[in-house]
Amino acid sequence: MDKYIKSHKNMIVLEHEKVEVVREILRKLEPKPKVVVELGGYMGVSAITWGALLKEFHSESGLEGCHVYTCEYNAKWAEIIRSHVEFAGLSDLVEVVEGPSSDSLKRLKEEGVVDTVDMLFLDHWKNFYLPDTKLCEELRLFRKGTIILADNTDFPGAPDYMDYIRSGGSGNFKYETKTYVAPELKESVSAIRVSKLFKAFTYNFQAAVEATLVVAA
């Protein structure tokens, strides 16, 4: 999978550099997340990453209660994620939820599959970041201590989401937020910028992850 991604342009997957950033964020978090919901699954790279990180963080205490739900609305990608997850030996831990993210969030809550989310990963189309966050609030999927990670919030980013999160939320939930930048990705952006490859520049100016903690619920 790694070889395939490296040999193809514009693969919209979570880069290694960002995985290290996220590992560092989660390393400091106590208790460690067990229930992860991801919006935007694509080929399953990040879903597999979350499965592997759950295994890493809970190696001593065991995986009871640990689960990753990856929500993907494209049936073709959903099928591909399932096969990649199976190949990675993570089918017991990672589940693909097929359909539009808003429907999937409602289904997970209403069917009692998920009560509250420990970690929400926003990585679908940016115009859904804010409405889906508000939907999570409405469904009370957040609790004090939930962490929300939003990918590629730098450019073109999700300005409405960032305004909302930075303002601390709108009532029932309060947020504290911080932007993390993967340094190696930022450097590669500068290099590309110098070479004036504008198209590559726009695709690569995505080195930021916004980590938001629910501090009151």
Ligand X SMILES: C[S@@+](CC[C@H](N)C(=O)[O-])C[C@H]1O[C@@H](n2cnc3c(N)ncnc32)[C@H](O)[C@@H]1O
Applying CB under 6 A, which residues contact ligand X?
A: 12-14, 40-43, 45-46, 71-74, 77, 100-101, 123-125, 128
Residue nearest to ligand X (CB): 40
| Least distance CB 75 / ligand X (angstroms) | 10
SS3 of residue 17 by DSSP: helix
Complete DSSP assignment for 71-100: EE--HHHHHHHHHHHHHTT-TTTEEEEES-
114's torsion region: left (phi>0), alpha (psi -120 to 50) or beta?
beta
Residue partners of 81: CB distance under 8 A and separation at least 6: 41, 42, 43, 44, 47, 70, 72, 96
Q: Are 140 and 176 in contact (CB under 8 A)?
A: no
Shortest distance (Å) from residue 181 CB to ligand X: 17
**Residue 101 or 153 with smaller CB distance to ligand X:** 101
CB 44 within 8 A of CB 80: yes
> Which CB sits closer to ligand X, 36 or 162?
36
Least distance CB 38 / ligand X (angstroms): 6
Least distance to ligand X, CB of residue 73, Å:
4
CA distance 138 to 136: 5
Q: Which residue, 9 or 61, is less far from ligand X as judged by CB?
A: 9
Closer to ligand X at the Cβ: 22 or 165? 22
Residue closer to ligand X (CB basis): 100 or 168: 100
Tell me how far, at minimum, the Cβ of 116 lies from ligand X, in Å.
20
